[in-house]
């Protein structure tokens, strides 16, 4: 009886666990960069966002993070609407930016502590997880350093460690592979895979499909501010009439032609 | 390249003039005139009573005239982006630097002329230098500055770098010796000219420009200038370099249990951002200094209260320091009560400021009952500022 109740409870709980972006239109002051975007990511799902420079990938992400105010549409994660409960929404999102952004005043250890405070993590369990992540990215001997003085790749690793430490239900990753050494790329892909296996949601933009493919099977193509197709890479090929013998890079030529005719 | 140098010089001059106008405002000029007048009066009076021809007079003249050599580093106006865009211009850098060396000579020349004029009566009447010899010596000083700049220029290329500290020390010793005999002044002049010609030849053979070093040096020089300006006015170009300052970590709470993100950030910004810590140190030192100067508990109390108030007032902009940081905006950090958090973070340093001022009073001022009362009043005032004034301001500024 109890287990029945429990399963019902769990069903209800997970039934609403989803990221839903509906009819999102937005951009910077006035001019819409993205138009009527609709996206849905369920637990255990990962979606890659691909497109040319200026297609609207970063703008979409900025809206999702609450850095821009939508002109139209809603963004809801696990029943929490971004514009209505921003702090509760943000509590469920971790972000790895394209270029590392650090607090110049904080040491590496303090970046982790701030993450624990902001995301209200239990200090002890968080530290034991942090140590694993630091070891994975070979940062465990630099806890007392100021990461602003790190190299670009190492800074990026700090961003990855803090994002995965936050242990949120949605991970937003913006072009993560540039500047990382091959070892770190492999570790990051493993972490993304594990997150998906643990029923997290992942949204990632990238141009490096060869790496992304190892963790992500579903992609959305963004062009001229709208989503043209969502599906596996094969489905995307078919949508744009590419032959299976064509290199996937040909997609970008097609997108470019579309842009020029738009 | 010459054109680029000239354009940059113009921009730099415009910017410097803007800040100089702000620094030398009416009040400051007035204060300077009074100070200068007082100094000149004292100088004229003491010239009358001073005994003549002591042995150390001439070296003293040399040392004083050597001081302007420490001002006016080589202005190269190189920018970080030059590492990218001017990288293939190594061989044209000589051309680029020529107008800049001339420009760098302007400030030292003015200072040397001014100081030489002021010292002229002392050097000729008391130290017994013939006016012609004194003039030669001033020319030597000017040449020494030119040589020093040439050495700085050669340091900008790959190869052995010559330490400027060493150069200045050698110049100090040589100048102090040369002033003793007219013949030595002549020899010094010849040596300096030979040195300049030698440097010129060395520079002709140098080709590989040390871009990273040159850009770093210019950055350092600019920051020194901005720091000087920022004592009087806000300098928006000034770059803040955060220092780790591990020795101050004892002022941070050990446990995170009672912390929240804003408090956590404010505490560290206070200790490691030089803008904030320098302000705190500068203001506290200022309070101690004026207390010592007035030597009276009532005046010391009033002025220290003013300093405490100004410290808190100037630290207030810390509140939105992190708003430009994307990760701060993205993280689930509420900004609702952060004014309160700022007050919590500020209360320890403000208490520390009171403590330091009070201890200095006990050491520097005449000990009596009133002094103890003043110490008590000062802490009351400090608490009032932190607990009443700051919340009021925070509410008004909507932090």
B145-158 per-position pLDDT tens digit: 999 999 999 999 99
Least confident of A222-236, B12-26, B180-194, B369-383: B12-26
pTM for this model (two decimals) = 0.77
Residues B260 and B214 in one domain: no
Our CA-based measurement puts residue B256 at a distance from the nearest CA of chain A, in whole angstroms, of: 8
Residues B217 and B266 in one domain: no
Instruction: Provide the pLDDT confidence category of residue B144 given band limits of 50, 70 and 90.
Output: very high
Is residue B62 in some structural domain? yes
Residue B358 CB-half CA count within 13 A:
18
Q: Which conformational region is residue B352 in: left (phi greater than 0), alpha (psi within -120 to 50 degrees), or beta?
A: alpha
Is residue B120 in some structural domain? yes
Is residue B126 in some structural domain? yes
Q: How confident is the model over B58-73, as a mean pLDDT?
A: 92
Contacts of A255 (CB under 8 A, 6+ apart): A51, A52, A55, A221, A223
Residues B194 and B307 in one domain: no
Is residue B238 in some structural domain? no
**8 Å CB contact of B331 and A88:** no
Instruction: Provide the pLDDT confidence category of residue B382 given band limits of 50, 70 and 90.
Output: very high
CB atoms within 10 A of CB B376: 11
The Cα A251–Cα A220 span in angstroms is 13
Residues B188 and B258 in one domain: no
> Is some CB atom of chain A closer than 8 A to the CB atom of B246?
yes
The Cα B61–Cα B112 span in angstroms is 12
In this prediction, residue A12 carries a pLDDT of 46
Residues B71 and B204 in one domain: yes
The partner residue sitting opposite B268, judged by closest CB among A88, A110, A148, is A110
C-alpha pair distances (Å), A210 with each of A54, A202, A207, B248, B289: 21, 17, 9, 48, 66
Q: Strand A34-41 and strand A19-26: pairing?
A: antiparallel
Per-residue confidence in pLDDT tens, chain A, 262 aa: 445 455 444 444 455 789 999 999 998 877 889 999 999 999 999 999 999 998 999 999 999 999 998 999 999 999 999 999 999 999 999 999 999 999 999 999 999 999 999 999 999 999 999 999 999 999 999 999 999 999 999 999 999 999 999 999 999 999 999 889 999 999 999 999 999 999 999 999 999 888 999 999 899 999 989 999 999 999 999 999 888 888 888 889 989 988 888 7
Residues B208 and B271 in one domain: no
Residues B164 and B298 in one domain: no
Is residue B326 in some structural domain? yes
Residues of chain A with Cβ-Cβ distance to B269 below 8 Å are 105
How big is the A-B interface in CB pairs under 8 Å? 68
Contact predicate B339/B320, CB 8 Å: no
Residues B275 and B182 in one domain: no
Q: Which domain holds residue B81?
A: 2-229
Is residue B237 in some structural domain? no
Is residue B155 in some structural domain? yes
Number of structural domains found in chain B:
2
What's the sign of the alpha-carbon dihedral B105, B106, B107, B112? positive
**8 Å CB contact of A95 and B327:** yes
- Measured CB to CB, residues of chain A less than 8 Å from chain B are 65-67, 87-88, 90-91, 93, 95, 97, 101-107, 110, 113-119, 123, 144, 146, 148
**Which residues 334-373 of B have a C-beta within 8 angstroms of A?**
334
Mutate to test the interface with A, among B260, B262, B332 (most CBs of A within 10 A): B332
The partner residue sitting opposite A114, judged by closest CB among B261, B273, B326, is B261
* ipTM of predicted complex: 0.86
Residues B224 and B254 in one domain: no
Mutate to test the interface with B, among A89, A101, A118 (most CBs of B within 10 A): A118
Last residue of a domain, one of B197, B229, B261: B229
Residue of B nearest to A87 (CA): B332
Contact predicate A71/A62, CB 8 Å: no
Radius of gyration of chain A (CA): 19
Last residue of a domain, one of B201, B229, B257: B229
The Cα A111–Cα A103 span in angstroms is 8
Mutate to test the interface with B, among A99, A105, A109, A160 (most CBs of B within 10 A): A105
Q: Where are the alpha helices (DSSP H) in chain A?
A: 2-15, 57-64, 86-90, 108-118, 123-136, 152-166, 182-197, 209-212, 233-239, 250-261
Burial of A173 (0-12, 13-18, 19+ CB in 10 A): buried
Is residue B107 in some structural domain? yes
The Cα B154–Cα B94 span in angstroms is 10
Last residue of a domain, one of B229, B254, B289: B229
Residues B213 and B284 in one domain: no
CB atoms within 10 A of CB A6: 10
**8 Å CB contact of B269 and A105:** yes
Q: By percentage, how much of chain B surpasses pLDDT 70?
A: 100
DSSP 3-state of A251: helix
CA-closest candidate to residue A174, choices A54, A60, A37, A74? A60
> Is some CB atom of chain A closer than 8 A to the CB atom of B242?
yes
Residues B285 and B223 in one domain: no
- pLDDT by residue (tens digit) across B347-358? 999 999 999 999
Contact predicate B53/B124, CB 8 Å: no
Residues B328 and B267 in one domain: yes
């Amino acid at each position: 009886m109890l287990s029945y109740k429990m399963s019902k409870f769990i069903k209800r709980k997970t039934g609403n666990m989803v990221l839903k972006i509906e009819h999102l239109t937005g951009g910077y002051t006035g001019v819409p960069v993205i138009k009527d975007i609709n996206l849905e990511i369920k637990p255990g799902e990962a979606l890659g966002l691909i497109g040319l420079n200026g297609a609207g990938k970063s703008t979409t992400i900025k809206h999702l993070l609450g850095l821009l105010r939508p002109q139209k549409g809603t963004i809801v994660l696990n029943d929490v609407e971004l514009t209505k409960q921003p702090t509760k929404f943000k509590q469920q999102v971790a972000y790895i930016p394209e270029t590392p952004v650090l607090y110049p005043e904080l040491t590496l250890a303090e970046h982790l502590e701030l993450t624990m405070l902001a995301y209200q993590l239990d200090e002890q369990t968080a530290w034991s997880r942090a140590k694993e992540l630091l070891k994975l990215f070979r940062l465990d001997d630099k806890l007392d350093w100021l990461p602003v003085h790190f190299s670009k790749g190492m800074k990026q690793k700090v961003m990855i460690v803090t994002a995965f430490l936050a242990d949120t239900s949605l991970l937003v990753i913006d072009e993560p592979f540039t500047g990382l050494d091959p070892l770190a790329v492999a570790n990051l892909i493993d972490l993304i895979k594990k997150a998906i296996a643990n029923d997290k949601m992942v949204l990632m933009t990238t141009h490096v499909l060869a790496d992304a493919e190892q963790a992500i099977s579903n992609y959305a193509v963004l062009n001229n501010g709208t989503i043209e197709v969502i599906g596996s890479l094969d489905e995307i090929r078919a949508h744009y009439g590419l032959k299976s013998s064509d290199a996937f890079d040909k997609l970008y030529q097609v997108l470019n032609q579309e842009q020029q005719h738009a | 390249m010459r054109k680029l140098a000239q354009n940059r010089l113009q921009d730099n001059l415009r910017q410097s003039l803007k800040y100089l106008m702000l620094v030398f405002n009416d009040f400051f000029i007035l204060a300077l005139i009074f100070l200068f007048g007082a100094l000149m009066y004292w100088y004229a009076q003491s010239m009358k009573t001073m005994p003549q021809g002591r042995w150390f007079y001439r070296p003293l003249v040399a040392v004083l005239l050597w001081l302007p050599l420490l001002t006016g580093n080589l202005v190269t106006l190189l920018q970080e982006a030059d590492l990218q865009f001017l990288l293939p211009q190594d061989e044209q850098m000589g051309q680029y630097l020529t107008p800049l060396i001339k420009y760098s000579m302007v400030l030292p020349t003015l200072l040397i002329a001014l100081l030489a004029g002021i010292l002229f009566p002392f050097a000729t009447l008391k130290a017994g230098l013939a006016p012609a010899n004194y003039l030669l010596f001033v020319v030597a000083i000017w040449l020494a500055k030119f040589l020093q700049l040439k050495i700085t220029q050669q340091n900008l290329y790959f190869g052995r770098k010559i330490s400027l500290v060493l150069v200045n020390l050698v110049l100090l010793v040589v100048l102090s010796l040369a002033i003793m005999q007219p013949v030595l002044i002549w020899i010094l002049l010849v040596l300096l000219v030979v040195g300049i010609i030698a440097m010129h030849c060395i520079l002709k053979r140098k080709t590989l420009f040390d871009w990273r070093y040159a850009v770093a040096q210019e950055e350092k020089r600019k920051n020194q200038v901005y720091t000087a300006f920022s004592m009087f006015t806000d300098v928006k170009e000034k770059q803040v370099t955060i220092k780790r300052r591990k020795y101050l970590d004892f002022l941070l709470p050990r446990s995170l249990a009672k912390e929240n993100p804003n408090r956590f950030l404010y505490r560290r910004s206070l200790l490691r951002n030089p803008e904030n810590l320098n302000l705190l140190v500068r203001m506290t030192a200022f309070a101690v200094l004026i207390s010592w100067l007035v030597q009276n508990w009532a005046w010391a109390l009033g002025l220290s209260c003013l300093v405490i108030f100004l410290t808190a007032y100037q630290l207030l902009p810390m509140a939105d320091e992190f708003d430009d940081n994307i990760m701060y905006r993205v993280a689930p950090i509420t900004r609702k009560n952060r004014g309160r958090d700022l007050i919590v973070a500020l209360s320890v340093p403000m208490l520390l400021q009171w403590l330091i001022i009070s201890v200095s009073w006990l050491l520097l001022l005449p000990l009596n009952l009133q002094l103890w009362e003043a110490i008590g009043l000062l802490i009351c005032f400090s608490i009032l500022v932190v607990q009443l004034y700051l919340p009021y301001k925070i509410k008004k500024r909507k932090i």
